[in-house]
Amino acid sequence: MLTSWRELFRSMARNKSMSISLVVTMSVSLLLASLGLLMQMQADRTENFYGDKLQIQVNLCTDNSPAATCVGGVANDAQKAAVQEALETNSEVKSFEVRSPADLFDRARQTLGTSETGRKQLETISPDSFPESYLVTLNDPQESASITSQVSGLDGVGSVTSLRELLGPLFTFLDNMKFAALGVSLLLIVAAILQVSNTIRMTAFARRREIGIMRLVGASSWHIQLPFVLESLLAALLSAALAALGLGAFVYFVVYRYLRTSLGELTTWVRWNEAIFVMGITTVLALALALIPTLVMTRKYLDV
């Protein structure tokens, strides 16, 4: 075993540049893969956070509503009753609640009052600036077309807003970031596999005389393979550690120091336990990326 470790360090010293480039390539690919997995967890968290909150909001007419259904001004009792009946009879509607202008103003005050810009905006509005609204919860938040088309043409309805559509850019951003990270990671993983194979081929060629002598004196295949396996194992563990360090920096500086403090009310953000779980997955991936090609290629190139 001691001889194998000597062979390991001697081989790494001979192929220093190849070893460094292999570790860098694997570290970057693993970091991007871990970021992609973390983005997937964040998308799932956001979806679960909103859940039934991905509602539609039916805003009734006010004196200033420009919609063609608001020619009579503020919605009257008969128009409100027609809207409520449409909501009650639509099979896509799970429930709905009425929000008065005062309720909407209070919610705006809670949201905008946390920043200086928001407080300045509050000075320009009052409860009269908001319409009476129905906040509608759907059985399936993704199926809002039917109820939207049904109520948007009713007299007294000024507008229909889908909260899911408003949050669409957030989900799109998370999906794009996830697929971009995983896509680039896949390319780099292929590059890492090719680099592992090329490193083994070059090392085996450089040591072909030594390997031939070991064969002649009866050394087993595993004894000859072991330095290569240890070298790949060491590179995989070092790459996984660097990727975990990068992911930890991302979670600390981006998630905890920025997102959770600046956008904490937007959704629930990933936590350290999820980041640690992703680190474990990428460590297993690193071992597989290093050891599988090594075992395959050593069988091919060390058969002398």
d(CA 252, CA 234): 27
pLDDT of residue 195: 75
Alpha carbon dihedral 288, 292, 298, 303, in 10-degree steps, equals 160
What confidence tens digit (pLDDT) does each residue in 17-47 have? 777 777 888 888 888 888 888 888 887 787 7
- Residue 220 CB contacts under 8 Å (≥ 6 apart), including other chains: none
pTM over 0.85: no
Question: What are the pLDDT digits (tens) for 146-163?
Answer: 888 888 888 888 888 877
**What's residue 144's pLDDT?**
76
Considering only CA atoms, which of 155, 27, 147, 26 is closest in space to residue 89?
147
Ranges of each domain in the chain: 2-50+169-301, 55-166
Q: Phi-psi category of 67—alpha, beta or left, where left has phi over 0 and alpha has psi -120 to 50?
A: beta
Strand partners, 162: 56
Token pair 């794009």 in the structure block, residue? 176
Name the average pLDDT for the chain. Answer: 78
Helix, strand or coil, per DSSP, at residue 90: coil
Contact of 67 with 157, CB cutoff 8 Å: yes
Instruction: Write the single-letter amino acid at 43.
Output: A
DSSP, collapsed to helix, strand or coil, labels residue 133 as strand
* pLDDT for residue 2: 44
**Taken in order 107, 108, 111, 116, is the CA torsion positive or negative?**
negative
Residue whose entry in the numeric block shows the structure tokens 């959704």 = 267
The pLDDT score that the predictor gives to residue 209 is 67
| pLDDT reported for residue 161 | 82
Cα within 13 Å of Cα(29), Cβ side = 23
How high is the pLDDT of residue 245?
Answer: 96
d(Cα 249, Cα 88) in Å, to the nearest integer?
50
| Other beta carbons within 10 Å of 234 | 16
CATH topology of domain 55-166: Alpha-Beta Plaits (3.30.70)
Backbone φ/ψ region at 175: left (φ over 0), alpha (ψ -120 to 50), beta: alpha
Low-confidence ranges of the chain (pLDDT < 70): 1-15, 51-54, 108, 110-119, 121-124, 126, 129, 164, 203-224, 264-265, 300-304
Measure the CA–CA gap between 242 and 282, rounded to whole angstroms. Answer: 11
Helix (H) or strand (E) holding 216: helix 208-216
At residue 40, the pLDDT reads 83
Asked if 59 and 159 touch (Cβ cutoff 8 Å), the reply is yes
pLDDT at 114: 58
> Hey, CA dihedral for 257, 280, 18, 188, is it positive or negative?
negative
State whether residue 67 is helix, strand or coil: coil
CA-wise closest residue to 28 among 176, 200, 211, 245: 245
